[in-house]
Chains A and B, each alone.
Chain A
Amino acid sequence: MAKRTAKKTALKVVKKTPAKKASAPKASVAVARGTPLVEMKDISIAFGGIKAVDHASIDLYPGEVVGLLGHNGAGKSTLIKILSGAYKRDVGQIFVDGKEISITNPRDAKANGIETIYQTLALADNVDAAGNLYLGRELKTRLGTLDDVAMEDATRKVMFKLNPNFRRFKEPVSKLSGGQRQSVAIARAIHFNARILIMDEPTAALGPQETAQVGELIKQLKAEGIGIFLISHDLHDVFDLADRLVVMKNGKVVGTAYTKDVTHDEVLGMIIAGKCPKGAIPGPGALRDAA
């Protein structure tokens, strides 16, 4: 279904590329690379006066990993939760394959191939791993009943890829360790052939071996043409895995840059001071004089 819409809307997108003066070079890049998989345009949301996201625009191309960086409370999670349907934006537009779509709840997002690993994991604590993995899209037998064994079987296979030591399939996830829980959340996001994957600090609780495994996984998914938003506070990871990075500060986008065009220190400057370096395209949140 997704492929169909991609073909149909390929032409329209050219017209819709951002028309701001500062972003002229980016526009040319976009044209050169075809249709973005996702484009979030001019998104804002406020929680009782606090502008958690303030006119932010980001995009993502197939097979690309975009790192989303920023201080605590910068608005990263809120921005991607708008994409995943958890929050309803106040203003702004969302395009998938160049076509504007309406996302008002998580079901809309999933229908568009968007899967999310939430920072809070969003697991039902009283249900076991398989139950969580298939929550909302359970496998059924011919009689319409839950096919628990089939779900458990599939879960064992996915989990083996992420966490080969994991055995506790019969227990509610509340009894699992933080890392094991995170593995379940990752398994859930990758199991349903997402085209767009949102990972909000997916390795925060993982050990070195499991973190490496997730890194491998990201590379593999990328090779399959999946677009990934990766939120992380670990600059090394981001430089290692992301093609591009977007820095946010106080709800605004400071700037966007290709990983190869910027250094660690420059990115730190963006995160802490909002200073946009040479190699980056400044956004509305960049310091005026630095631009």
Chain B
Amino acid sequence: MSNTPNTSQSPAVEKEGPITRLLRATEIDARILGMAAALLVIWAGFDIYSRLFSTIGFDSDGLIFGGSFITPRNLWNLLNQTASIAIMSTGMLLLIVMRQLDLSIGSMLSTVAVAIGTLQVFRLAPALGEGNRAIWIIAVFGALALGSFMGWFNGVLVAYARIPAFIVTLGGLIAYGGLAWAIIRGETVAPMDSTFELLGGNVPQYSLGVFWSWVVAVVAISGIVYSIWNSRRQRQRFNFPLRPMWAEWFLGAAGSVMVGLLTWVVTIYPWAPNVIKQWATDHHITVPAGIEDKDGNAICMAGEQMVRCVHGYIVYTGYSIPFMIAVGVGLAMSFVATRTSFGRHIYATGGNPEAAELSGINTKKLTVKVFILMGFLVGIGSIITSARLNAATNSLGQSNELYVIAAVVIGGTSLSGGIGTVSGAMLGALLMQSLQSGMTLLNFESAFRDMVVGAVLVAAVFVDQLYRRSVK
């Protein structure tokens, strides 16, 4: 541990393997790369398995191995299914980074969901008239406000009453669960306001569609290129060591290819034929003539009858609203964590709470703020979950806290605080949902599913620790 000379000119470089060299030059977090690799292995595994052992015998739209996992439809579903947990995991990440925890988020989600559910169905709809545009806006703000308020309440008890977060939120887990039940007395409110429902992404007609999805892709790629260029310029300004040029190109290209691939996948997922049919009828669209083929995704006119066919009228889905919300939240939370003093203070507090306090950070206020943020994100989670289900009930969101914490931990976050990334947590959520969805897709028994997910959680932490030790 003596003073090493400038890292970029270290003599050790010559002995490095190509991967180490790539990681060092591009400054990519090896843990994120490892998780992305694990994710691809899992996907490929499911896809190949489904191809080999399919009991149902159907033809698939498999993109790579011909199985049923790596298909536009399944990947699109997967992104949608992950959204709520991924969004909440970013808040939990910050809490765990600052050595706190929130066990009450599942019950909070139920409470918020049933509160805004009853609000829109039993109060707003009768008062304003069903389908009024104000309903969904009030419901969304209500959810965010109620979530934030509950987070604030947790935070105040933790920071100012000095009750450990574990206790406060364990109490919350039980108490808010009761609250949710009391609001709705075990019933289900359904259906939600018809505009509110769109936020759940369960109505394919209101996804982004092909054009806007590619617009998003172009914006994203420009963003990647700009941020690489900007950080290079900043380093130049102060004469700091720069990344080698090839590494910059590599980063830009890899990022753009990934965005492009994902966009391609979601823009070749067609609406269900029934949905297309409905759309064509409603919008008086002339459907081309063709012959019936039950395996086709498009629709044709076979004489007077509208039928399924292979080449005909077809509409593709594109990015879903929950996915876009999740991406937005991910970017915002990454920004908060790495680019703002608020985030810096959170990490420092997690690293050494006493030092943070001595540095003049008001750690109590900070704690409350992070709990509020968590509550706010639970608000978003409850909007997406209840909109997606188009119903709200007190069991909604139960035990989500476990999945969210698992996602954060799989994402390489240290439970002892100070270490963790937003992208890691979100990837962790995606990884876990991939396992669950994949095993459900393959009709694995749910007991087996639970065993695998639990084992992966433990294994992920073990591998992470091995990695950390080897780096030290």
Contact flag (A, B; Cβ within 8 A): yes
A160 at interface by CB-CB < 8 Å: no
CB proximity to A under 8 Å, residues B323-374: 335, 338-341, 344-345, 347-352, 354-362
- Closest beta carbon of chain A to B82's beta carbon, Å: 28
Is A168's beta carbon under 8 Å from chain B? yes
Residues of A within 8 Å of B234, CB to CB, are 149
Q: Is the CB of A124 within 8 A of B360?
A: no
Q: How far is the CA of A174 from the CA of B340 in the complex (A)?
A: 22
In the assembled complex, the Cα of A172 lies from the Cα of B418 at a distance in Å of: 11
Chain A 101-123 residues near chain B, CB threshold 8 A: 105-107, 110, 116, 118, 120-123
When the two chains form their complex, are residues B350 and A126 in contact, meaning their CB atoms are under 8 A apart? yes
With A146-B340, A168-B3, A168-B4 as known contacts, state yes or no: A84 contacts B347, CB within 8 Å.
Answer: no
Residue pair B355, A131 in contact (C-beta under 8 Å) = no
A22 within 8 A of B: no
- For A118, list chain B residues within 8 Å (CB): 358
Residues on the B chain within 8 Å of A116, using CB: 358
* A100 part of interface (Cβ distance < 8 Å): no
The yes or no answer to A145 lying at the interface (CB within 8 A) is yes
B358 near A122 with CB under 8 A, answer yes
Given A152-B238, A152-B240, A153-B238, are A136 and B361 neighbors across the interface (CB < 8 Å)? yes
Sorting the interface of chain B by its residue count into under 10, 10 to 19, 20 to 34 or 35 or more gives: 35 or more
The one of B3, B341, B358 in contact with A165, judged by C-beta atoms closer than 8 angstroms, is B3
The binding surface of chain A is classed by DSSP as: loop
Chain B positions within 8 Å of A110 at CB level: 360
Is B56 an interface position by the 8 A CB rule? no
- Given A136-B361, A138-B344, A146-B339, also A125-B418 (CB < 8 A): yes
Interface pair B238/A149, CB less than 8 Å apart = yes
Contact B3 A166 (CB under 8 A): yes
Given contacts A123-B352, A135-B348, A140-B341, contact A149 B1 (CB under 8 A): no
* Interfacial chain A residues near B358, Cβ < 8 Å: 84, 86, 106, 116, 118, 122
Q: Is B7 an interface residue (CB 8 A)?
A: yes
Determine whether A20 belongs to the interface, using a CB cutoff of 8 Å to chain B.
no
Taking chain B's interface residues, is the majority helix, strand, or loop, or is none over half, making it mixed?
helix
Question: Which residues does chain B contribute within 8 Å of A136, judged by CB atoms?
Answer: 345, 356, 359-361
CB of B384 to closest CB in A, whole Å: 28
Residues of B within 8 A of A149 (CB): 234-235, 237-238, 240
A137 to B345, CA, bound (A): 10
Residues of A within 8 A of B1 (CB): 175-177
Partner of A146, one of B235, B237, B341: B341
A79 to chain B, nearest CB (A): 16
Q: Give every chain A residue within 8 A of B335 (Cβ-Cβ).
A: 145
Report which residue of A86, A107, A127, A135 has the largest number of chain B beta carbons within 10 angstroms of its beta carbon. A135
Q: Shortest Cβ distance from B142 into chain A, in angstroms? A: 29
A167 contacts B by Cβ under 8 Å: yes
Tell me if A106 and B344 are in contact (CB < 8 A): no
A7 within 8 A of B: no
User: Which A residues are CB-close (under 8 A) to B237?
Assistant: 149
Kindly list chain A residues whose C-beta atoms are within 8 Å of the C-beta of B235: 149
Q: Flag whether A150 is at the interface (Cβ < 8 A).
A: yes
Q: Decide: A135 near B356, CB < 8 A? Known: A145-B340, A149-B237.
A: yes
Q: Is A107's CB under 8 angstroms from B351's CB?
A: no
A264 contacts which chain B residues (CB < 8 A)?
none
The reply on A278 being an interface residue by CB < 8 A is no
A170 within 8 A of B: yes
In-complex Cβ contact of A122 among B5, B7, B352 (8 A): B352
B360 touches A138 (CB 8 A): no
**Interface check B55, CB cutoff 8 A:** no
Q: Which residue on B lies nearest to A108, using beta carbons? A: B360
A138 touches B341 (CB 8 A): yes
Quick check: is B470 within 8 A (CB to CB) of the other chain?
A: no
Whether the Cβ atoms of A125 and B240 lie closer than 8 Å is: no
Once bound together, how far apart are the Cα atoms of A106 and B359, in whole Å? 7
Select one of B350, B352, B360, B418 contacting A107, CB under 8 A: B360
Those of A123-172 within 8 Å (CB) of chain B: 123-127, 131-132, 135-138, 140, 144-146, 149-150, 152-153, 165-168, 170, 172
* New contact pairs (4) apart from A122-B358, A126-B351, A165-B3, CB-CB < 8 Å: A105-B362, A126-B350, A138-B341, A166-B3
A/B interface sample: 9 pairs, CB < 8 A: A125-B418, A126-B418, A135-B355, A152-B238, A167-B7, A168-B3, A168-B7, A172-B351, A174-B351
10 nearest A-B pairs in the assembled complex, by CB-CB distance: A126-B351, A126-B418, A124-B348, A124-B351, A136-B360, A122-B355, A135-B359, A136-B359, A138-B341, A145-B339
